[in-house]
Amino acid sequence: MNSKDINYTPDGIEEIISKQFVRFIDTTPTASTPTWVVVGVGVEDDNANISYNPEVDRIKWIIDKNARTQHRSNDKQMGVTQSSYKGDPCFEFVEQARDTIGTKTHVLEVDTWNEISTGNYASKMSDATIVIDEYSGNQINWNLYFDGDPTEGKSTISNGTPTFTPTASI
């Protein structure tokens, strides 16, 4: 067999697209039940990427040929460029934060490509802080800074609204 004839692609793989990685923010973060709204209206592909901003220490001992690496933490953040749409609850919540310091919320990341059981999707919920960078009337640029460790769990989605259930700690 010629090496150019070998198929290295595993059977059953599927491409994951942006729409399958859904992010929600809580517009009632002090209430006992969250009000989840999707981050997506007025947000184009590649305008809501999550940066992990890893803290990495590198050290090379004199007795070693190569350096050692220690990944200490992540400083997770999502930068969003969003066009302004009246009536979009996400935009309206974020827009209210323009002149506020330290707007707290929760963020729910739902991987709809990762169905762990029928109708249940792998999810993570985190506390977060919204910070506005720029606002021009027709567009708002904002950052969502994730606070602390996420809570792992699963979510169901009904009529576009998620319900999050945390998984038991190990």
Distance (Å, whole) CA 16 – CA 102: 33
Q: pLDDT tens digits for 120-152? A: 999 999 999 999 999 999 999 999 999 999 999
Share of the chain above pLDDT 70, in %: 98
Residues 88, 95: contact at Cβ < 8 Å? no
**Residues contacting 97, CB < 8 A, separation 6+:** 103, 130, 131, 132, 142
Percent of the chain with pLDDT over 90: 84
Residue 66 has pLDDT above 80, yes or no: yes
In degrees rounded to 5, what are phi and psi of residue 71?
Answer: -85, 110
What confidence tier does 89 reach under pLDDT thresholds 50, 70, 90? very high
CA 125 to the chain's CA centroid? 9
CA distance 40 to 46: 11
Average pLDDT over residues 50-70: 93
